[in-house]
Amino acid sequence: MRTLRFVFVVGGVLSGLGKGVVTASIGNLLKYCNYKVTAIKIDPYINVDAGTMRPTEHGEIFVTEDGGEIDQDLGTYERFLDKNLSKNNNITTGKVFLNVIQKERSLEYNGRNVQLIPDISDEVKRMILEASKNCEISLVEIGGTTGDIENLVFLHAIRELSEEYPSATVMVSYLPFLKNVGELKTKPTQHAVSRLREVGLFPDFLVIRSESGIDEVRKDKLARLCFLPKENIIGDPDVETIYEIPLIFEEQKFHEKILRKLNLPVRKPANDEWKEFVKKLGSGEKLKIGLVGKYVKYGNSEHKDVYISVVEAVKHASVVAGVNPEIVQVSSLNIEKNGVEILNELHGIIVPGGFGSSGIEGKIEAIRYARENNIPYLGLCLGMQLAVVEFARNVCKLRGANSTEFDPNTPNPVIDIIPEQKELIEKKMYGATMRLGAWTAVLKRNSIVHKIYGKEKISERHRHRYEVNPKYIEVLEKSGLVFSGISPDGILMEFIELPEHRFFVATQAHPEFKSRPTKPHPLFVAFLKACKELKNGRKKRRKTLIS
What is the binding site for ligand GLN (CB under 6 A)?
353-355, 381-382, 385, 405, 463-466
Answer yes or no: 531 catalytic: no
Q: Which of the residues 136, 316, 512, 531 is marked catalytic?
A: 512
Q: Which of the residues 33, 381, 396, 531 is marked catalytic?
A: 381
> Cα–Cα–Cα angle for 436, 438, 439, nearest 5°?
95
255: left (phi over 0), alpha (psi -120 to 50) or beta: alpha
Q: What is Dmax (Cα atoms) for the chain?
A: 76
Closest CA to 363 of 392, 387, 397, 347: 387
For residue 464, the cross-strand partners are 435
Calculated CA dihedral for residues 331, 396, 444, 523, nearest 10 degrees? -10
- 468-500 core/surface letters (b: 16 or more CB in 10 A; e: else): bbeebbeebeeeebbbbbbbeeeebbbbbbbee
**Smallest gap, in angstroms, from Cβ of residue 381 to ligand GLN?**
3
**Smallest gap, in angstroms, from Cβ of residue 329 to ligand GLN?**
17
* Residue 201 vs 364, nearer CB to ligand GLN: 364
**Smallest gap, in angstroms, from Cβ of residue 389 to ligand GLN?**
12
Answer yes or no: 57 catalytic: no
* Residue 56 vs 190, nearer CB to ligand GLN: 56
Close Cβ partners of 121 (under 8 Å, ≥ 6 residues apart):
153, 156, 157, 160
* Residue 278 vs 381, nearer CB to ligand GLN: 381
Q: In this chain, which residue has its C-beta nearest to ligand GLN?
A: 353
* Residue 275 vs 465, nearer CB to ligand GLN: 465
CA distance 185 to 199: 24
Are 467 and 418 spatial neighbours (Cβ–Cβ below 8 Å)? Answer: yes
Going from the C-alpha of 269 to that of each of 29, 67, 206, 274, 367, the distances in angstroms are 6, 32, 22, 10, 45
**Smallest gap, in angstroms, from Cβ of residue 463 to ligand GLN?**
5
Long-range residue pairs from 219-227, CB within 8 A, at least 24 positions apart, any chain:
221/186, 222/186, 222/189, 222/190, 225/186, 225/190, 226/189, 226/190, 226/193, 227/202
Q: Which of the residues 156, 316, 464, 510 is marked catalytic?
A: 510
**Smallest gap, in angstroms, from Cβ of residue 492 to ligand GLN?**
11
**Smallest gap, in angstroms, from Cβ of residue 467 to ligand GLN?**
7
- 70-97 core/surface letters (b: 16 or more CB in 10 A; e: else): bbbbbbbbbbbbebebbbbbbbbbbbbe
Are 41 and 143 spatial neighbours (Cβ–Cβ below 8 Å)? Answer: yes
* Residue 116 vs 425, nearer CB to ligand GLN: 425
CA distance 173 to 147: 13
* Residue 32 vs 513, nearer CB to ligand GLN: 513
* Residue 394 vs 404, nearer CB to ligand GLN: 404
SS (H, E, C) 176-190: CEECCCCEECCHHHH
Answer yes or no: 501 catalytic: no
**Smallest gap, in angstroms, from Cβ of residue 77 to ligand GLN?**
21
Calculated CA dihedral for residues 302, 307, 311, 317, nearest 10 degrees? 180
**Smallest gap, in angstroms, from Cβ of residue 464 to ligand GLN?**
3
State the angle between helix axes of 522-535 and 308-321 in degrees (0 to 180), rounded to the nearest 10: 60
* Residue 182 vs 419, nearer CB to ligand GLN: 419
* Residues acting as catalytic residues: 381, 510, 512
